[in-house]
Amino acid sequence: MDFLELAHRRRSVRKFADRPIEPEKFQRLQVVAEAAQQAYGATAGALYIAADPVLADRLRGAIVSGWQGKINLWLYVTPVPAFLVMLVKSPADSAEADRPLSLGPISMVMESVVLAAAEMDLGTCWIAGFNPDGVGKLLHLPPDWRPCIVSPLGYPTEKGRLEMVSRTFAQADRRKPLEEIFEWKGGRS
């Protein structure tokens, strides 16, 4: 599969099959994260993979406790086999404690991991508004490490007929035309 196919194939997944993820897939995600960290200079970041089912379930509870902003109710009812947690090192007393400058490179690392997961038929979904303090406490993180990105990880379930009809009706799988999201200025086409 080439990159363009992979980019079109990757979707946010919110329903996961009751199927364990093979250890070699976790290892591959770690290798991708390490390579991406070096490529993007994301030295203040680290990837935490919560692969233990009990920890993943407890992490789901920590994520939804103290929601901030948009609430993703699906997480309350959907079992999740594993979680990816991107961490950022930022001393609590520093000027960038709440908005570290390293979030750009760290986000690129996470997206590389998300694309690698999609290539291995694993689904992910960036979670907005999670409780970073609850997640950090559960993972026993040192005070200068904070979770900045969280995503569930697992094999997507097959879409049922009702879900397919409702997604078609709502145009949930429709992507914006390229002309709406990209503008070319200058140069030769």
Instruction: Count the Cβ atoms, other than its own, within 10 Å of residue 143.
Output: 9
Inside any domain, residue 13: yes
The reply to whether 168 falls in a domain is: no
Task: Give the chain's end-to-end CA distance (angstroms, integer).
Answer: 26
User: Residue 53: which of 29, 31, 21, 77 has the closest Cα?
Assistant: 21
Residue 179 inside a domain? The answer is no
Give mean pLDDT, residues 32-41. Answer: 92
Task: Say whether 124 sits in a helix, a strand or coil.
Answer: strand
State how many domains the chain has.
1
Please, what is the average pLDDT of the chain?
Answer: 83
pLDDT in tens, 156-180: 997 655 455 555 655 666 677 878 8
Q: How confident is the model at residue 77 (pLDDT cuts 50, 70, 90)?
A: confident
d(CA 72, CA 141) in angstroms, rounded, equals 25
pLDDT at 72: 64
Whether 40 maps to a domain, the answer reads yes
CATH number of the domain bearing residue 84: 3.40.109.10
The model carries a pTM of: 0.82
Q: What is the DSSP string of 166-179?
A: HHHHTTTT----HH
